[in-house]
Amino acid sequence: MLAVAEDDARLFAAVDGPEAAPPVVLLHSIGCDHRMWTEQMPALAEWRTIRPDIRGHGRSDAPAGDYALPRLADDVLRILDALDVERAVVCGLSLGGVIAQALALRAPSRVRGLALANTAARIGAAEAWTQRAALVRAEGLGAVAEMAMARFFSPTFRTEHAADVAAFRNGLLATSPQGYAGCCAVLRDADLTRQIARIAAPTLVIGGALDVSTPPEQTRSLADAIPGATYVELDAAHLSNVERPKAFAAALVKHLESC
């Protein structure tokens, strides 16, 4: 464990690269963990990469009950403090992208740049997240595994990369049901629509042409709403960094070099 949150939850992050290198934080999707970014690591060898397990996931604690977006943003700040990192570029996908937006709004002095992938100021409908949390608490993550894989990956990718999809499915099934449900509450409640125009950090938005969870019209709207943001769209579903790892890494590195 790397840090301890204000409520005593233990927080894990994988840290790689030279200690003196510019830091970049990579925040994963709901139902994944820090390993989601494995394919990007070679391209980020010259950076100090900090890959937290969001609370409720991976090796971080999974407290019972609903979580809140400010808490998840503060968790990231706790990790940065533990590493003596004053400012970082923050890259987040899906839930991770919502946390990244919250960080840029809550602690702008800590965010040197943003990369927001397959995310939106508001993701999905509140009732849908309420229902999903209740289902997972009652029946476990097996009840949503097939639905999640169909949203994470395009049909072609699921056919041609079955082993990769199976690894992500196993990772989802290993996630704490109470942790997953707690993060469903974050997505149920989070709506930054009226705030994102205040984001001042240089921002890259990455969308997926085949993404049904945050479709292109939502990611384009996100880019339009953030002053000066640039937009890249990949031929991928929700986990665009997994389906198009090289193109994703190229766009991210270009942005990092400009921040």
- Give me the amino acid identity at 62: A
Structure tokens given for 254: 């270009």
SS3 content of the chain, % helix, strand, coil (to 5): 50, 15, 35
DSSP-derived letter for residue 237 is -
Report pTM. Answer: 0.98
pLDDT tens-digit series, residues 156-196? 999 999 999 999 999 999 999 999 999 999 999 999 999 99
Determine how β-strand 10-11 pairs with β-strand 3-4. antiparallel
| Percentage with pLDDT > 90 across the chain | 99
Residue 1, pLDDT above cutoff 80: no
What is the per-residue pLDDT for 22?
Answer: 97
If you average pLDDT over every residue of the chain, what do you get? Answer: 97
List the beta bridge partners of residue 223. none
Mean pLDDT of 12-18: 97
What are the structural domains, with CATH classification, of the chain? 3-258 (3.40.50.1820)
pLDDT tens-digit series, residues 137-154? 999 999 999 999 999 999
Residue 1, classed as helix, strand or coil, is coil
> What band does 2 get if pLDDT is binned at 50, 70 and 90?
confident
Q: Are 177 and 140 in contact (CB under 8 A)?
A: yes
